[in-house]
Amino acid sequence: MLCLTLTGSTLEEDRALVVKNRKWISLAELRLDYLNPEEQEEAAVFPNMVDIPVILTLRRVSDGGRCTLGEKQRLQLLYNTAKGDFAYVDIEEDIKKCDLKFKESGTEIKVDLESSLRMRNIKIIRSYHDFEKVPADIYGHISKLAAKGDIPKIAVTPKSMIDVISLFRVQQELQGIKDKIIIGMGDFGIPTRILYKKCGSMLTFCTDSSEKVPAPGQLSAQTMSELYRSDKLDDRTHIYGIIGNPVYHTSSPLIHNPGFLAIHYNAVYVPFLVDSVRAFFKLAEMLQIHGFSVTVPHKRDVQPYLGRITREVKQIGACNTVTRIQNMWKGTNTDYYGFLAPIAEEVSKGTIHSALVIGAGGASRAVIWALHNHGVKVTVINRSLDHAKSIASETMSSYDSLENCSRYSGKVDLVVQTTSVGMTPNDTEDPVPALRFLGNELVYELIYHPRETVFLKRAIAAGCTVVQGRDMLMEQGKLQFEAFTGYHYPHWIHPEL
């Protein structure tokens, strides 16, 4: 189930959010602490305003919420609102037996909040939040939460791939607890939200695309349902992904997931923020991941874990695609052919004799080798002259300092920009402002966000033919898709990268 967290300030706003997201969600969480005070008094009617089950939550500031009431007042408001037709009420783990006092006909009576909810068959979600870490005793913590027969919910903050493994192990360690909610918050936790069923979680939370994110790492309902199809994944779903650090800027899920759907292939492609390649390979075995893309800074680090590598990986020294074959991992490099594809005609005609490659990082290696292997004379320029010299010596190329870029104005047939300078959010920067374009160069940039950088706009204004980074991204993605599935990428799919 995908549960939409409602953060409107009025009940009508929340109802509108449900209507807007209805086709993607199975239930909603009414965040009472986001409502205006006068709206809170009327919130008991909300379940009758929508056509899906509703979770009632009144979250304290210390647990990531907005409620600043005293504890007795908060629980009193929760009790009063819970008189509505709610399917679940969320109560924090540290709330013990709570007797609330009322006066009816002049007589003071006591009511226990939890007992009153159970008497009305409202299911209690017993929640625990940790915005700093994943507790060492997480499995015992979940068991303790479930001891009363309530639904345990943990929302914790993984800070490493090892922590992520701990969350995915919940299903294996606590199979006896059928209904539970497992949430990994923050960037490391995003895969646990997408693959929530692999954690043994009965649901995961999502937000409206236009609303403020109420919890770190929450994705929109539309993204969760349409791009990742999280609510439709099952035990037979093949898992693929991309690893990197950073990684969430990637557009690769926009290529692969629509491709899987188009060929009716039961698979999902998930981004993983990875701090330790070794730990990720452990997770890959646990989840039986079938293949993954590799981006900065792990293109070299994955190689010791591979049973086979292709000629391009050996030559370039970088791997961007890993697939599982015959109980081992195979490494390939689709950047090499993906880079060449948009300029294949010029290369085959022999019209590119010389090239200036800006940058000497991991992305440039495939570019330089691809050009070198097709007889193009390459000069590498880089801010660090030592790095430029190192990669030039490996590839039998020339090298120079970035500050000397003006020397090459109008002197080469092809200019390739491989650095991240000019990428969103730093899209006002230009890696080589002193390099002038005469209009007869072919200019190629690997950045794909934004579509046209300052660098590329200068080339277009000068009359140059340009190749955008999205072209290479799409071409190398198609090759990865074939490596993953054994099928050609569906020609009728045109992702909005």
What are the residues facing 123 on neighbouring strands?
88
- Distances, alpha carbon 80 to alpha carbons 85, 112, 214, in Å: 12, 12, 24
With beta carbons less than 8 A apart as the criterion, state whether 213 and 224 touch: no
Does 469 count as an annotated binding residue?
A: yes
Does 327 count as an annotated binding residue?
A: no
Which amino acid would we find at residue 445? E
Does 335 count as an annotated binding residue?
A: yes
The candidate with the shortest Cα–Cα distance to 440, out of 416, 412, 471, 469, is: 412
Does 362 count as an annotated binding residue?
A: yes
Does 90 count as an annotated binding residue?
A: no
Distance between CA atoms of residues 264 and 238, nearest Å:
12
218-223 contacts at long range (C-beta below 8 A, 24 or more positions apart) = 218/5, 218/193, 219/190, 219/193, 219/194, 221/2, 221/4, 221/21, 221/24, 221/25, 222/21, 222/24
Does 251 count as an annotated binding residue?
A: yes
- What is the enclosing helix (H) or strand (E) of 334? helix 334-340
- What is the enclosing helix (H) or strand (E) of 170? helix 170-173
Does 223 count as an annotated binding residue?
A: no
Q: Which of 153, 180, 197, 299 is catalytic?
A: 299
Name the one residue in this structure whose structure tokens are 């509108």. Answer: 16
The candidate with the shortest Cα–Cα distance to 111, out of 124, 122, 102, is: 102
What are the residues facing 417 on neighbouring strands?
358, 445
Name the one residue in this structure whose structure tokens are 């969320």. Answer: 90
Does 307 count as an annotated binding residue?
A: no
- What is the enclosing helix (H) or strand (E) of 141? helix 138-146
Which amino acid would we find at residue 281? F
Question: Residues, the chain, total?
Answer: 497
- Residue 299 known to be catalytic: yes
Secondary structure of residue 29 in the 3-state scheme? strand
Does 361 count as an annotated binding residue?
A: yes
Torsion of CA 274, 276, 278, 283, to 10 degrees: -40
Does 359 count as an annotated binding residue?
A: yes
Does 288 count as an annotated binding residue?
A: no
What are the residues facing 126 on neighbouring strands?
91, 152
Distance between CA atoms of residues 392 and 57, nearest Å:
60
- Report residue 188 as tokens: 């490391």
Buried residues in 232-268 as b, exposed as e (16+ CB within 10 A) = ebeeebbbbbbbbbebeebbbbbbbbbbbbeeebebb
The candidate with the shortest Cα–Cα distance to 167, out of 128, 212, 144, 198, is: 198
Binding residues, by number, are: 250-252, 295, 320, 335, 359-363, 446, 448, 469, 476
Binding residues for shikimate, by number, are: 250-252, 295, 320, 335, 448, 476
Q: Which residues are catalytic?
A: 299
Binding residues for NADP(+), by number, are: 359-363, 446, 469
